[in-house]
Amino acid sequence: SGKPLPYKRVLLKVSGEALMGDGAFGITPKVVEQVAADVADVAARGTEVCLVVGGGNIFRGVAAAAKGMDRAQGDYAGMLATVINALMLQNALEREGVETRVMTAIDMAEIAEPYIRRRAVRHMEKGRVVIFAAGTGNPFFTTDTAAALRANEMDCDALFKGTQVDGVYDSDPRTNPAAHRYSQLGYSEVLARNLKVMDAAAISLARENDLPIIVFDIRAPGSFGAVMAGQGAYTRISD
């Protein structure tokens, strides 16, 4: 394995959309395998890793509500979608030889452990990768907020947000070739300029605990470890 990384414990947020790869829905196994390999590499280098996984590749409460579904009911379906992704990631990680635990914010004890903070900390201390599923367990929240919440609870050094873009831009780089990527941003700037990184609740939670957020492109193989070592493109959000 490679060199040790300058973080003791981190949380990686994997959006559901990132797991879709080039598809329009669901999961592309190759992408899940690549994310698992990247996590395995970082864990082998001695950094404790936990994950929060999204569900937008399968189900989103807001989208369902726009078509007439009750919002809270749709959000519960969305939280279940994150559990599907978590099981896929767990499977891929174990194939990489990484010991894992899935912990859900909504009890489903036949599938995964219930989320108990102190038990999660113990798992991490033992070098297990903990995958937090079912978001916060509450409708009207997002998995970004769950990521900031769990990162604070686990006392992580940083929250890595793995997306399909290599950072935060002043306009959409997919449509504007002149778009500029920020290398560093303050929490208040993100909120004031309404930059679409994470929702305001997540940014506020991170700011509350001085938790740096690093936004990077998770689709590039090896990017998680590289960005942790300060290489490649990313945006860092901190004060």
Ranges of H-type helices in the chain: 16-20, 29-44, 61-66, 71-95, 117-125, 143-153, 187-192, 200-208, 223-228
Backbone region of residue 21 per phi and psi (left: phi > 0; alpha: psi in -120 to 50; beta: other values): left
**Has 175 been labeled as part of a binding site?**
no
Backbone angles phi, psi at 27, to 5 degrees: -120, 135
| Out of 11, 49, 56, 98, the residue judged to bind ligand UDP by CB under 6 A | 56
Which residues fall within 8 angstroms of residue 80, CB to CB, at 6 or more apart?
55, 59, 106, 134
Toward ligand UDP, which CB reaches closer, 17 or 45? 17
Q: Is 5 or 234 the residue whose CB approaches ligand UDP more closely?
A: 234
Closest approach, Cβ 180 to ligand UDP, in A, equals 24
Tell me: is residue 104 an annotated ligand-binding position. Answer: no
Smallest separation, CB 226 to ligand UDP (Å): 22
Nearer to ligand UDP, 76 or 182 (CB): 76
Q: Does 16 bind ligand UDP (CB under 6 A)?
A: yes
Report the alpha-carbon distance of residue 228 to residue 212 in Å, rounded. 12
Is residue 31 within the footprint of ligand UDP (CB under 6 A)?
Answer: no
- Residues lying near ligand UDP in the complex (CB under 6 A) are found at 15-17, 54-56, 60-62, 74-75, 78-79, 81-82, 135-136, 138-139, 141-144, 146
